[in-house]
Amino acid sequence: RLAGKCLQRIRNMNCTAVLKKHVYSMDTVQEEQILQPLWNFMRNQHDWLTSPFFPVLFSFVVYMSFCLPFITLDLLTIKLPYLRKYKIQSQSNPTAEMMAACLVQTVYNHIVFIFPVTVAHWYWRPMNFPPTAPELREVIFDVIGCLLLFDMQYFIWHLLHHKIPWLYKTFHKAHHKYTATFALTTEHSSAWETLSLGFFAAINPMLLKCHPLTETIFFIVNIWLSVEDHSGYDFPWSIHRLVPFGLYGGAPHHDLHHMKFRSNYAPYFTHWDKLFGTFAQLNAK
């Protein structure tokens, strides 16, 4: 009897293990299936995605698409003062000439500097198209990892370009032309700054060995966060209000950097500035 009970328990344990393994595998399949249609769509655009013109056009179109809502808001606040309560520096508003100057600089940088570099990247590292999409949790973790790496890299780069006068005057001063940020100031920068940040964004998915779909999602998220950082607006639904414990600085964090120059060097998160004593906050309105 004792032997029979032991055998029965072993059978039950084996069944439970098989069931758990089956459930886990089903969950994995479901996660893969969530992103598989999107990845299949992208793979069907193979000719376009492997074009040497795609990276620079993708970068510019995504950037302008994210800027457009804030450009519209900047124009509306002139006639709708109610919207000004969401502006961080409510007394300032970009003019059409300021926006045009930033746009010209962005187009120039994309054509003269970004395009040749992306063609070289396209030649030396062609995009691959594995048959299966990544799991959703893998995408989330990898994107967060890429953002944390980018945040650290840019913090170091940014701090050096403020602490060393020659670096600031030669390379970074152009980005500080406007002390009140607006969306189009995001990419108003020198060629060196544009290429440096582009290098950080490109190398991190390679370091983490991300799936091409994850890499694309990271690029989109990174552009959005950069634009929101420079938008000059603080909404109830802004990302820094959604991330708990003050871990994410957002637009107020970076806007203060443009106003004061000597604090808040990290682009997104706050931990580096807090560790190095360069963290500052806006006073309550």
Transcribe 69-102 into DSSP letters.
HHHHHHHHTTT-GGGGGGBSSTT----HHHHHHH
Q: How confident is the model at residue 1 (pLDDT cuts 50, 70, 90)?
A: low
Mean pLDDT of 8-21: 56
pLDDT exceeds 50 at position 197:
yes
pLDDT given for residue 113 in this prediction = 94
Mean pLDDT of 173-191: 95
Cα end-to-end distance, the chain, whole Å: 79
- Length of the chain measured in residues: 285
Helix, strand or coil for residue 126? coil
Residue % of the chain over a pLDDT of 70: 88
Mean pLDDT of 157-174: 97
Q: Rounded CA gap, 213 and 127, in Å?
A: 10
Taking the CA atoms of residue 84, residue 87, residue 92 and residue 93 in that order, the dihedral angle to the nearest 10 degrees is: -80
| Residue 215 · residue 205 · CB < 8 Å | yes
| Residue with tokens 């409510």, as numbered in its chain | 90
| Residue with tokens 């957002």, as numbered in its chain | 250
Q: How confident is the model at residue 10 (pLDDT cuts 50, 70, 90)?
A: low
Q: Is this structure's pTM higher than 0.85?
A: yes
Indicate the average pLDDT of the chain: 89
Tokens representing 112 are 């003269």
Q: Which of the residue ranges 23-37, 47-61, 242-256 would you say has the lowest mean pLDDT?
A: 23-37
**Among 201, 261, 251, CA closest to 229:** 251
The strand pairing partners of 233, in sequence order, are: 87
The strand pairing partners of 269, in sequence order, are: 248
Mean pLDDT of 177-197: 95
Q: Which of the residue ranges 19-23, 33-37, 56-60 would you say has the lowest mean pLDDT?
A: 19-23
pLDDT exceeds 90 at position 260:
no
More confident residue, 20 or 217: 217
pLDDT exceeds 80 at position 198:
yes
pLDDT exceeds 80 at position 3:
no
Q: What angle do CA 109, 114, 116 make, to 5 degrees?
A: 120
Dihedral sign for Cα atoms in the order 84, 89, 93, 98:
negative
Phi then psi dihedrals of residue 157, to 5 deg? -60, -45
Q: Rounded CA gap, 101 and 212, in Å?
A: 34
Q: Which of the residue ranges 15-24, 73-82, 182-191, 198-207 would you say has the lowest mean pLDDT?
A: 15-24
**Among 261, 284, 257, CA closest to 270:** 257
Mean pLDDT of 193-220: 96
**The one-letter amino acid at 217:** I
Residue % of the chain over a pLDDT of 90: 75
pLDDT given for residue 21 in this prediction = 53
Q: Rounded CA gap, 64 and 66, in Å?
A: 5
pLDDT given for residue 95 in this prediction = 92
Q: Rounded CA gap, 211 and 208, in Å?
A: 9
pLDDT given for residue 25 in this prediction = 45
pLDDT exceeds 90 at position 6:
no
pLDDT, one tens digit per residue, over 92-136 is 889 999 999 999 999 999 999 999 998 988 888 888 899 999 999
